[in-house]
Amino acid sequence: MFCVEMEERNYPSWKLEHLTLVELAIQESEIWTEPFCITAIIRALSSLKTFNGIPRREFLADGVNMRELANYIGSNS
- The pLDDT score that the predictor gives to residue 13 is 93
CA atoms of 45 and 67, how far apart (whole Å): 20
CA atoms of 29 and 27, how far apart (whole Å): 5
Q: pTM, whole model, 2 decimals?
A: 0.67
Q: Output 2 or 44, whichever has higher pLDDT.
A: 44
Mean pLDDT of the chain: 77
At residue 47 the predicted structure's pLDDT band, cuts being 50, 70 and 90, is very high
- Beta strand segments in 1-77, E: 18-19, 25-27, 30-31, 50-51, 54-55
What percentage of the chain has pLDDT greater than the value 90? 19
Residue 63 region, left (φ>0) first, then alpha (ψ -120 to 50), else beta? left
